[in-house]
């Protein structure tokens, strides 16, 4: 899967990142899905499911042999509120356009793949732009997703717009740390995908999920703060993250807007937790995609 957020500018930068995504997928020869991490539509709010913004900020941007045939699972960002979010939900629920836009509800759960009767990946898609006083419903959904009877998923991922850990311009959200972090920890979530800060970061803390910030999909970039002890990677370059998962291993790569590999990591599933010692730099050399 490819993950990126803060992409919906309609500007040249968004198109460049879209082309890089297609090039990387073609080179790898595999792509099953894209996760859009919110702020899907900047500027004038969407007026309907026929609004030109759908073409200029989604349908025509993400196109090619690979991108035109995979689903895009989206979460809502603060710039999608208060008006565009209703239209985004309608677009997904009514399967408008190419049918790739997936947003069944403001927050939802979905399984991907199967391994010996177990889901390969269970993902919880959260709406961190919703009023925080109603956030308990999402905590309950997260608990239910990972504590329900039946075969446990091999990998556990949560996706949202706002990061819990962040060394970028916006800093950490203390409300989310208090509300969401305990639920992520007790449910042993492996990876938390987020945007909001317009850069790319990987933050690792013992006994917490791997904090993957990928908010450099098309909007003006933000500088990253000074490297902290828990920062494994940080760059203010436009681009996206790509995760390749199988029952044995996760590979996490960060790319720029030309499709160049900025850095890569791997994590073996038999490592029980995404502590600092588990996610290791990949030995693969950086490549330039022509």
Residue 255 belongs to some domain of the structure:
yes
* pLDDT per residue as tens digits for the range 143-174: 999 999 999 999 999 999 999 998 767 778 88
CATH of the domain at 102: 3.60.21.10
Mean pLDDT score across all residues of the chain = 92
Tell me if 288 is assigned to some domain.
no
The pair of structure tokens assigned to 148 is 């329900």
Largest CA distance in the chain: 49
pTM of the full structure: 0.94
Question: What share of residues in the chain are helix, strand, coil (percent, to 5)?
Answer: 25, 25, 50
Cis peptide before 82 (omega within 30 of 0): yes
Report the DSSP beta bridge partners of residue 265: 252, 281
Is residue 223 assigned to a domain?
Answer: yes
Q: Which residues contact 62 (CB under 8 A, 6 or more apart)?
A: 18, 21, 22, 34, 68, 72, 100
Buried b (16+ CB within 10 A) or exposed e, 111-140: ebbeeeeebbbbbbbbbbbbeeeebeebbe
Residue 140 belongs to domain spanning? 2-281
**pLDDT tens across 208-251, in order?**
999 999 999 999 998 887 666 678 888 999 999 999 999 999 99
Name the token pair of 261: 């590999």
Instruction: Establish if 290 belongs to a structural domain.
Output: no
Q: Is the pLDDT of residue 256 over 50?
A: yes
How many structural domains does the chain have?
1
What is the pLDDT confidence band of residue 279, given thresholds at 50, 70 and 90? confident
Give the Cα separation of 174 and 102 in Å (integer): 30
Q: Is the predicted pLDDT of residue 285 greater than 60, yes or no?
A: no
- What pLDDT is stored for residue 275 in this prediction? 52
């Amino acid at each position: 899967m490819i993950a990126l957020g803060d992409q919906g500018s309609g500007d040249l930068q968004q198109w460049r990142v879209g082309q890089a995504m297609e090039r990387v997928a073609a080179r790898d020869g595999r792509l099953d899905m894209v996760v859009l991490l919110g702020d899907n539509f900047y500027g004038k709010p969407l007026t309907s499911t026929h609004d030109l913004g759908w073409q200029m900020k989604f349908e025509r941007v993400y196109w090619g042999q690979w991108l035109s045939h995979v689903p895009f699972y989206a979460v809502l960002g603060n710039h999608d509120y208060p008006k565009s979010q209703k239209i985004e939900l309608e677009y997904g629920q009514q399967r408008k356009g190419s049918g790739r836009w997936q947003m069944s509800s403001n927050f939802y759960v979905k399984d991907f793949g199967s391994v010996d009767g177990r889901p390969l990946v269970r993902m919880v898609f959260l709406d961190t732009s919703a009023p925080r006083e109603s956030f308990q419903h999402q905590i309950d959904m997260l608990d239910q997703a990972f504590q329900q009877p039946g075969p446990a998923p091999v990998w556990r991922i949560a996706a949202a717009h706002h990061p819990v850990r962040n060394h970028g311009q916006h800093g950490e959200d203390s409300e989310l740390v208090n509300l969401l972090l305990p639920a992520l920890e007790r449910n042993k979530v492996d990876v938390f995908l987020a945007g909001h800060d317009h850069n790319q970061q990987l933050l690792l803390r013992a006994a917490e999920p791997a904090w993957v910030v990928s908010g450099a999909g098309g909007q003006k970039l933000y500088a990253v703060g000074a490297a902290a002890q828990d920062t494994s990677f940080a760059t203010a370059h436009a681009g996206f993250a790509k995760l390749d998962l199988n029952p044995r291993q996760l590979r996490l790569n960060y790319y720029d807007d030309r499709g160049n590999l900025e850095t890569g990591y791997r994590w073996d599933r038999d490592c029980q937790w995404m502590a600092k010692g588990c996610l290791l730099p990949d030995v693969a050399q950086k490549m330039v995609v022509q």
